[in-house]
Chains A and B, each alone.
Chain A
Amino acid sequence: MKVKMQTRGLDVFYGEKQALQSVDLEIHANEVTALIGPSGCGKSTYLRCLNRMNDVVPGCRVSGDVTLDGRDIYDSKLDVVKLRARVGMVFQKPNPFPKSIYENVAYGPRIHGIARTKSDLDELVRQSLRKAGLLEEVESRLDESGTSLSGGQQQRLCIARAIAVSPEVILMDEPCSALDPIATARVEELIDELREQFTIVIVTHSMQQAARVSQRTAFFHLGSLVEVGETGKIFTNPAEKRTQDYITGRFG
């Protein structure tokens, strides 16, 4: 079992308000880790620490260790741009660029110089869209604006955009919250495929989804990590009462 990312004693503050307290969590390589917990418990905050997205939030302070392949990602020598190319992200709210569908997906590969030729890039864009389960719907209108898509389509476009740069770790913040069951199934399939090459951390409010796609599950409550373990164990035999209450729907 290889540890891909790890946090130790992670504290996050927004101004005076503490959003996460001393979170110790290991993310295993080539596994899907699900983060669950009631709204506002700090799942997104945790996720955003893993690719330093919190750096751009004014007033946000992060302390503690976060490592990627054993290297501290908050090290001042580490290039945050390279980090984000290795740790990609799909945000909670779909945020396509106000550009064409094609440009949305092609942007990442282009700035990282991933595709050599135009036809390579075309192929990469189509492949990413296909993986995200969007290609069929948009094949004929790749030059239309990404913002003209429906909410669920936009979210899948954002997934395609994230996987186009082939990151090592993909952080997904409720990627299926705006999707219908078919698209959800498609994305879950995708997550399963991606797991062979990538490491995935997914935030979800759906217990079924967490149970279906993840190998490990971490339960957050009020800014702390309550329990983490194999998904099967968390859902059948949690160690903590709070976890039990949450997954059986008694609070949250």
Chain B
Amino acid sequence: MSSDGAGRPERREEVEERADRRLRRRYASERAFRTAGLVAIAFSLSALGALLGSIVLDATGALTVHSVRLELDLDPAQLDPYGDRSPDSLASGNAAAVLRSGLASEFPEVTGRSEKRALGELLSVGASYDLLDRIVAEPELLGSRLEFRALLSDDADLALRGETEEGVDEADRKLSGAQQAWLASLSERGRIENHWNLRFLTTGDSRDPEIAGVQGAIRGSFLTLIVTLLLSFPLGVAAAIYLEEFAPRNRLTDLIEVNINNLAAVPSIVFGLLGLAVFLNVFGLPRSAPLVGGMVLGLMTLPTVIIAARAALSAVPPSIREAALGVGASPTQAVLHHVVPQALPGILTGTIIGMARALGETAPLLMIGMVAFIVDLPTGPTDPSTVLPVQIYLWAEAPERAFAARTAAAILVLLGFLVTMNSVAVWVRRRFESRV
């Protein structure tokens, strides 16, 4: 070695230089690789940002609504038609008339019948509902004067947001020139208020965008997912445990395995058709019900759960099974006491991801009639209802311009749900992994 180095120093330098060059090249390619990765991440993040940004921007129109403050004469003749102040009587009062005359009193110059009707059209039916609720809750208000915040219609709301209808023929405009002038006048007098649209989160669907809400869809999604979970988790985990731990390896189990993998790739609408044919037509289960939706989505999620659970189970080292068997545990005990607890984080993560996919599904639910227009909030799994993605689909189709903002806001709610579920998945994983 030493004689080599002393005898041919230039050769050694050559070798070193070559090694140096190689090292430099390696560093360079490493840097290039890292940069490529960063660029890819930056690109996907900006795409995501743009998408989210545009949705949030679109949704702002649904976060607040405009109302007008009116002095109302709570005329018992109108609001208590039977005259006995019973809830029945109060609930059938003509709130709309009271509101209309309250608004008309702001514009004494408006006298014509059709003009008065046009003025009344500025108010939303939501205002009548609100007033009725108020009277039913506080009947002692009858006969007095009340300052009341009356919800404006969606077209008035849009106009107040500065969405003009230029370019639209005067006759086709949603708001006539007179209506716009009245709004401007109310606004000048400081009677218009812009406030949070809490109703959006608390009510069901409606034909009127300003009073439409996602609560019905949220409940529908929740009920549907519960059914999905109850169906797919126990079945999926049991099937996975059997296939992974107990089933003999033969033609039949191979066939089953291939079919499960195929099933996971079947387009979701096919499951919807299955639900329509079997659950509705054969078993006669109710249409549009979260029960059926959940069953369809449960079948759809089942293969995903099985595959995730099997992967998690097979990742448990065999030495753990041997250890349990070696102290005299039965195969079932070995699996239930040692293998499944080890695999649980993976099983749960897979299940939650499957559920998140089910949450976003629309197509199979259309097949079983969950696309209906449903105002009432569902209270049980057999009540007709929609789910969030279907609600989004319905609103996106609706002709009223104000539904565009509702669509975006509902998408935000759906995304919120997904983020929550994924965070739960992460949390569950951490929790179970840190356990000894």
Chain A residues with CB under 8 Å of chain B are: 51, 53, 56, 58, 81-82, 84-85, 88-89, 91, 93, 95-100, 107-108, 111-112, 143-145, 158, 161-162, 164-165
B335 CB to closest chain A CB (Å) equals: 12
Instruction: Assess whether B327 is in contact with A107, with CB atoms less than 8 Å apart.
Output: yes
A-B contact count (CB 8 A): 67
Instruction: Assess whether B249 is in contact with A162, with CB atoms less than 8 Å apart.
Output: no
B318-338 at interface with A (beta carbon < 8 Å) = 319-331, 333, 337-338
Which residues on B sit within 8 Å (CB–CB) of A81?
Answer: 328-330
B436 proximal to A (CB < 8 A): yes
Which residues on B sit within 8 Å (CB–CB) of A145?
Answer: 436
What is the bound-complex CA distance between A96 and B320, given in angstroms? 7
Instruction: Assess whether A91 is in contact with B323, with CB atoms less than 8 Å apart.
Output: yes
Which residues on A sit within 8 Å (CB–CB) of B331?
Answer: 56
B268 proximal to A (CB < 8 A): no
Smallest CB-CB separation from A96: which chain B residue?
A: B323
Instruction: Assess whether B326 is in contact with A98, with CB atoms less than 8 Å apart.
Output: no
What is the bound-complex CA distance between A58 and B321, given in angstroms? 14
What is the bound-complex CA distance between A178 and B329, given in angstroms? 26
Which residues on B sit within 8 Å (CB–CB) of A51?
Answer: 326
B164-222 at interface with A (beta carbon < 8 Å) = none
B342 proximal to A (CB < 8 A): yes
Instruction: Assess whether B322 is in contact with A56, with CB atoms less than 8 Å apart.
Output: yes
Contact with A84, one of B319, B328, B337 (Cβ below 8 angstroms): B328
Instruction: Assess whether B327 is in contact with A58, with CB atoms less than 8 Å apart.
Output: no
| Chain B interface helix/strand/loop/mixed | helix
Which residues on A sit within 8 Å (CB–CB) of B330?
Answer: 81
Question: How many residues of chain B get a CB closer than 8 Å to chain A's CBs?
Answer: 20
Which residues on B sit within 8 Å (CB–CB) of A89?
Answer: 326
Which residues on B sit within 8 Å (CB–CB) of A161?
Answer: 323, 327
Smallest CB-CB separation from A101: which chain B residue?
A: B436
What is the bound-complex CA distance between A93 and B323, given in angstroms? 10
What is the bound-complex CA distance between A98 and B328, given in angstroms? 18
A237 CB to closest chain B CB (Å) equals: 36
**Complex A-B, nearest 3 residue pairs according to Cβ-Cβ distance, in ascending order:** A85-B328, A108-B327, A95-B319
Smallest CB-CB separation from A55: which chain B residue?
A: B325
Which residues on B sit within 8 Å (CB–CB) of A95?
Answer: 317, 319-320, 322-323
Contact with B338, one of A97, A108, A144, A158 (Cβ below 8 angstroms): A97
B254 CB to closest chain A CB (Å) equals: 14
Instruction: Assess whether A112 is in contact with B323, with CB atoms less than 8 Å apart.
Output: no
Which residues on B sit within 8 Å (CB–CB) of A164?
Answer: 327
Which residues on A sit within 8 Å (CB–CB) of B325?
Answer: 53, 56, 84
Q: List 7 A-B contacts (CB under 8 A).
A: A56-B325, A84-B325, A88-B328, A107-B324, A107-B329, A111-B337, A143-B436
What is the bound-complex CA distance between A108 and B328, given in angstroms? 7
A85 CB to closest chain B CB (Å) equals: 3
Instruction: Assess whether B319 is in contact with A162, with CB atoms less than 8 Å apart.
Output: no
Instruction: Assess whether B249 is in contact with A58, with CB atoms less than 8 Å apart.
Output: yes
